[in-house]
Every structure is written in C-alpha cells, then in structure tokens.
C-alpha cells in the first residue's frame, strides 16, 4: 500500500476553500428546489424533526476528535499507533453517542408531546438520531484521520459528492412523494454511500490491521484523550446551544410557518458555518506541528492569516447576501420572505463565529482548552436570554439579532485573550488598516446589493445584486488596504500547485 504524504497547510486550506465554494453552490441550488417542492410547512416540520439530531451531534462529543488529532498531528501516515488511537477514540465515541441518543430521544418525546404540542413529529425525529449513531458518527471519526493528515484532494471529492448525493436523494423524494417523512428518510439514507467510501479510502492513512499490543497502547492513552476533551466539553455544549436554540425558541413562540422560513434561512447559514470545522481541521494540526518544531512566528502567522481570510471572505457573503436578503428568500417560494430580515443578521454569524473558533485552535494547541470553554459559556449566557427576549419582542428577526450580538461580543473577548498568547503582537500580522477595510467593504457591498435587489425583478436582480455586492466589497478591500504581499505570494504558489496537478508539498510549507 503506497504511503500518502501529509499535505501542506496552504494546499489543504486551498482545497477546503474550493470544496466550500462548490458545495455552497450545490446546496443553494438544491435548497431552492427542495423549498419549492415541499413548501414552508413541511420544512418547518423537517427542521423540528432534525433539531434533536443536531442536539445529539453536539452532545455526543467531548471533543475527543480534537484530542486525537493533537496526538497524531506529528505522526506519519499509516503509523500503527494511528490505528490504535483511532480504535480507542471510536469505541469511546460510539458508547457516548448511544448513551446521549437515549437521553435526547427521551427529552424530545417530553417536549414534543408536552409544551410544543407536536407529538406526530417524534417518530420522524427518531430516524435521524438513529442514523446519526449508525452512520454519521463513524463517518465523523474517519474524517478526523483525513483532516489531520491534510488530505485535501480526497476531502474535496468526498464533500462535493456528498452534496450532490444528498441533493439528488432529497429532490427525488420531493418529486415522487413530497412529504416530511420522505424528506427525512432521503437525507439520512444519502449518508450511507459516503461512509463506505471513507472506510475504503482511509487505508491510505491508517492501517486496517495492527497488532493487539498497539490496540492496547491506544486504549491506555484514552484517559489522556478524554481528559483533554472534557475540558473542551462545556464550551462545545455552550456553542451548540447558541446555534441550535433558534429553532427551539421560534418553535415555542411562533407558528409553524415562521419555523419553516427561519429554518430555511438558518439552513443557508449552517452550510456556511460548516467552514468552521473545515478550517479548524487544517489549522489545528498545523499549529501543533509548528510549535512542536519551535516555529512560533510561523504558528502565529498561520493563525492570524487564517482569521483574516475567514473574516474577509465570509463578510463578503454577508454583505452581498444580506443586501439581497429579500431576493434570496423569495426564490424559495411563498412564505419564506418573512425571514429576510433575520437572514441579514444570521449571515453575520459565520464570520464572527468562525474567526472566534480559529482563535480557539490556538488555545487548544497550547494545551489550554479551559479558556475557550469559559469564553463560550459566557457568550451563551449572554446570547440565549437575549435571543429569547428579542424573539418575544421582535419576532424571528430578534432571534437572529441576539445571536449575532452574542458572537460579536465573544469575538472581542477572544481576540484580546489570543493577543496575549502570541509571540508577536497580532496587529503586526493583522493590521489596523486590514481590519478597518472589512466593515468599510461590508457597508459598500451591502448597499449596492440592496439597491439592485430592490430595483430589479428577482430573476435578473438577484444574481446581479449578489455579483455587484461581492465585486464592490472586493474592490473596497483592495482600495482600503486589506491585501498584503503575503497574500499575493500565497495565491501564486497555490495556483502553481493546482496547475501542476497538485503535487504534494512538504509538510512544513509556509502558510
């Protein structure tokens, strides 16, 4: 079996960016088709049916995957101990997921048959929870091997195929049946082919068979992995509650149609939020490698530039998409425009949340996970009551507004803390001028997008508004000074690698 090299950080993050753009395009197209096929009420039921699964997704982890990645970040692909550590992690993860699935289903039954008054949705909620245990949990654990070795090329293919497969299953079910049950079954069944692919492809990075002594060594390391992960768990739960609370709060305070329209807006944002894990999966092992090699400046550079790219790129989406929010929600069909104002604020969540999560990776790499948990708990303590109060006062736009405010406050606190831990001041790598360029460009892009969206019919106006908003945003970033020579050099090197067919770069290539 040929040994695959660990990819460079630049190559890995470049492939992740390509996957993100293509998957976003596929998802947007399929979301429109799904909304028009099923309607706002079915999507409201679908959101409530999947809410327990998303809760399980976050409750069934003590961040053991991050602790596992921390251990293998400096190992070679197919090192026998990689398998030993993975088997120990997967066994623990499976046991925890099964236990939490029981708890989640009990709570879901009590809530749906009690205060929410929707007992007919409980059987639907069981399907994704069970499939999450059987299919998604092993897939998630296998992905950690690919991401830690920065296997960008195969991850791009898997994620694009996953998006296409899920879209095909859900759209087909909509054409044939168009019910909430068919939608839930279609999405969960679409996970199965990708699990099989992962299980076959992982052999390039992890041996399928190792001696019993290696498995025993991995099991003996499990307490260390779990201990590190447990210190991350409070923060994980706090962040999960902040991200998932919107559907539950609106489900309790608003009619089903409001849940459906809000859930479609949040579904778009949730797809963007997936970039959080993608970026962190590449950044975290890079920070560990560089600090282990004594390259503190290199680690700081990777951290600062990643945070800057995240803020710059995702704020562009917030500007163009927020300005054209009415047009975006109109394409989903009747009843969805109600969430257009909420979408403006929800689109601000990804740049704020993901740039915060990028900085958490530095805390984890330094072996200080408790600090990130404390910050996340404080952020949730601010955000959850604010979301509930503003929803009660303002409706679904208030829910989105409260979430965005909480993440903005959290980003300020996290950045101050991160600056103290760096070997050089953050302002030397992420200058004041570059920081100012982002809000200036946001305002310009938002205004242009909004003017065009309001002035023209949706079929022509929406794509033009999105394109013009993004173009003005990028132009202002360049004019104000948001791009430096490192960015240009990195772009040239990445283009060179892609034009040569993506030849593997050395593991320590600069970011």
Instruction: Name the band, by pLDDT with cuts 50, 70 and 90, for residue 63.
Output: low
| pLDDT given at position 344 | 95
Question: Which class for 393: exposed (0-12), middle (13-18), buried (19 or more C-beta within 10 A)?
Answer: exposed
In a domain, 506, yes or no: no
Residue 239 reports pLDDT greater than 90: no
- Please report, to the nearest 10 degrees, the dihedral formed by the alpha carbons of residues 380, 381, 386, 391 taken in order: 60
Q: What is the pLDDT of residue 7?
A: 65
Residue pair 10/510 in contact (Cβ under 8 Å)? The answer is yes
Per-residue pLDDT at 284: 80
How much is the pTM?
A: 0.71
pLDDT at 43: 85
pLDDT band for position 18 (cuts 50, 70, 90) = confident
Reported as a pLDDT band with limits 50, 70 and 90, residue 425 is confident
pLDDT band at residue 255 using 50, 70 and 90 as cut-offs: confident
Q: How confident is the model at residue 21 (pLDDT cuts 50, 70, 90)?
A: confident
* pLDDT exceeds 90 at position 417: no
Confidence at residue 445, expressed as pLDDT on a 0 to 100 scale:
96
Q: How far apart are CA 27 and CA 425, in angstroms?
A: 39
**Domain with 477 in it:** 9-497
443 token code pair: 């305002």
pLDDT at 395: 87
* pLDDT classification of 492: cutoffs 50, 70, 90: confident
pLDDT given for residue 74 in this prediction:
81
Provide DSSP, 13-39: HHHHHHHHHHHHHHHHHHHHHHHHHH-
Q: What is the pLDDT of residues 149-198, one digit of tens each?
A: 888 788 889 989 999 999 999 999 999 998 999 999 999 999 999 999 99
Question: Into how many domains does the chain fold?
Answer: 1
User: Does some domain include residue 420?
Assistant: yes
Structure tokens at 463: 């794509």
- d(CA 418, CA 511) in angstroms, rounded, equals 19
- Per-residue pLDDT tens over the stretch 210-230: 999 999 998 888 887 777 777
For the chain, what percent of residues have pLDDT higher than 90? 38
The answer to the question of residue 508 being in a domain is no
How far is Cα 20 from Cα 11, in angstroms, rounded to an integer?
14
Q: Which of 50-59, 83-92, 143-152 has the highest mean pLDDT?
A: 83-92
Residue 498 has pLDDT above 70, yes or no: no
Of the pLDDT bands very low, low, confident and very high (cuts 50, 70, 90), residue 499 is: low
The pair of structure tokens assigned to 123 is 């059987």
Q: How would residue 233 be classed by pLDDT, with cut points 50, 70 and 90?
A: confident
Can you state the percent helix, strand and coil of the chain, rounding each to 5?
A: 85, 0, 15
Q: Return mean pLDDT, the chain.
A: 85
Four-CA torsion 47, 53, 59, 62, nearest 10 degrees: -120
Supply the pLDDT for residue 159: 87
Q: How far is the C-alpha of 70 from the C-alpha of 66, rounded, in Å?
A: 6
> Around 358, how many Cα atoms within 13 Å sit in the side-chain half-sphere?
28
With a cut of 90, say whether residue 261 has pLDDT above it: no
Mean pLDDT of 296-301: 87
- For the chain, how big is the Rg over CA atoms in Å? 22
Residue 504 within a domain: no
**Who has greater pLDDT, 111 or 487?**
111
pLDDT higher at 64 or 505: 64
Question: Residue 507: what pLDDT?
Answer: 38
Question: Is 172 domain-assigned?
Answer: yes
d(CA 107, CA 50): 14
Residue 102 pLDDT greater than 50, yes or no: yes
Closest CA to 305 of 144, 489, 470: 489
CA dihedral 380, 233, 140, 2 (to 10 degrees): 130
Residue 502 covered by a domain: no
User: What mean pLDDT is predicted for residues 87-95?
Assistant: 90
Lowest-pLDDT range of 150-164, 308-322, 466-480: 150-164
- In tens, the pLDDT along 336-383 reads 888 899 999 999 999 999 999 889 888 877 777 788 888 888 888 989
Q: Can you read off the two tokens belonging to residue 81? A: 């101990």
pLDDT at position 504 is 41
pLDDT mean over 398-412: 92
The pair of three-digit structure tokens given for residue 272, joined into one six-digit string: 């963007």
Q: Note whether residue 1 is domain-resident.
A: no
Distances (CA, A) of 38 to 21, 26, 183: 26, 18, 8
């Amino acid at each position: 079996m040929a040994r695959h090299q660990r990819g460079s950080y630049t190559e890995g993050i470049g492939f992740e960016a390509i996957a993100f753009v293509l998957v976003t395009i596929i998802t947007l197209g399929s979301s429109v088709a799904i909304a028009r096929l099923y309607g706002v009420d079915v999507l409201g039921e679908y959101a409530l049916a999947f809410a327990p699964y998303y809760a399980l997704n976050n409750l069934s982890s003590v961040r053991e995957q991050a602790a596992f990645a921390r251990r293998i970040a400096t190992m070679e692909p197919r090192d026998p101990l990689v398998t030993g550590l993975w088997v120990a992690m997967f066994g623990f993860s499976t046991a925890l997921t099964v236990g939490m699935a029981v708890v989640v289903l009990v709570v879901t039954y009590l809530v749906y048959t009690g205060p929410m008054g929707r007992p007919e949705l409980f059987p639907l909620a069981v399907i994704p929870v069970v499939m999450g245990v059987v299919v998604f949990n092993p897939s998630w654990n296998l992905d950690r091997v690919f991401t830690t070795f920065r296997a960008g090329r195969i991850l791009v293919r898997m994620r694009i195929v996953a998006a296409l497969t899920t879209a095909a299953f859900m759209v087909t079910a909509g054409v044939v049946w168009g019910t909430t049950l068919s939608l839930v079954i279609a999405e969960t069944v679409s996970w199965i082919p990708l699990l099989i692919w992962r299980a076959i492809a992982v052999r390039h990075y992890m041996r399928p068979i190792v001696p019993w002594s290696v498995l025993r060594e991995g099991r003996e390391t499990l307490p260390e992995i779990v201990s590190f992960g447990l210190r991350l768990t409070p923060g994980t739960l706090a962040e999960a509650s902040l991200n998932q609370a919107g559907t539950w709060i609106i489900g309790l305070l608003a009619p089903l149609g409001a849940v459906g329209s809000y859930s479609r807006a949040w579904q778009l944002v949730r797809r963007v939020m997936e970039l959080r894990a993608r970026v962190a999966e590449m950044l975290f092992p890079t920070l560990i490698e560089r600090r282990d090699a004594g390259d503190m400046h290199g680690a700081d550079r990777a951290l600062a530039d990643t945070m800057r790219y995240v803020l710059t790129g995702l704020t562009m989406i917030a500007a163009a998409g927020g300005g054209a929010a009415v047009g975006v929600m109109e394409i989903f069909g009747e009843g969805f425009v109600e969430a257009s104002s909420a979408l403006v604020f929800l689109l601000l969540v990804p740049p704020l949340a993901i740039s915060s999560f990028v900085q958490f990776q530095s805390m984890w790499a330094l072996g200080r996970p408790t600090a990130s948990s404390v910050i996340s708990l404080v952020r949730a303590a601010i955000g959850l009551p604010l979301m509930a109060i503003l929803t009660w006062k303002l409706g679904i736009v208030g829910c989105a507004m409260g979430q965005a405010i909480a993440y903005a406050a959290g980003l300020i606190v996290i950045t101050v803390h991160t600056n103290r831990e760096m070997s050089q001041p953050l302002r030397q790598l992420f200058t004041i001028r570059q920081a100012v360029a982002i809000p200036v460009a946001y305002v310009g892009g938002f205004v242009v997008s909004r003017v065009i969206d309001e002035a023209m019919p949706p079929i022509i106006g929406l794509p033009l508004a999105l394109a013009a908003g993004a173009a003005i945003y990028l132009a202002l970033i360049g004019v104000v000074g948001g791009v430096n020579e490192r960015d240009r050099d990195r772009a040239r090197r990445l283009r060179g690698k892609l034009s040569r067919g993506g030849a593997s770069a050395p593991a320590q290539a600069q970011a």
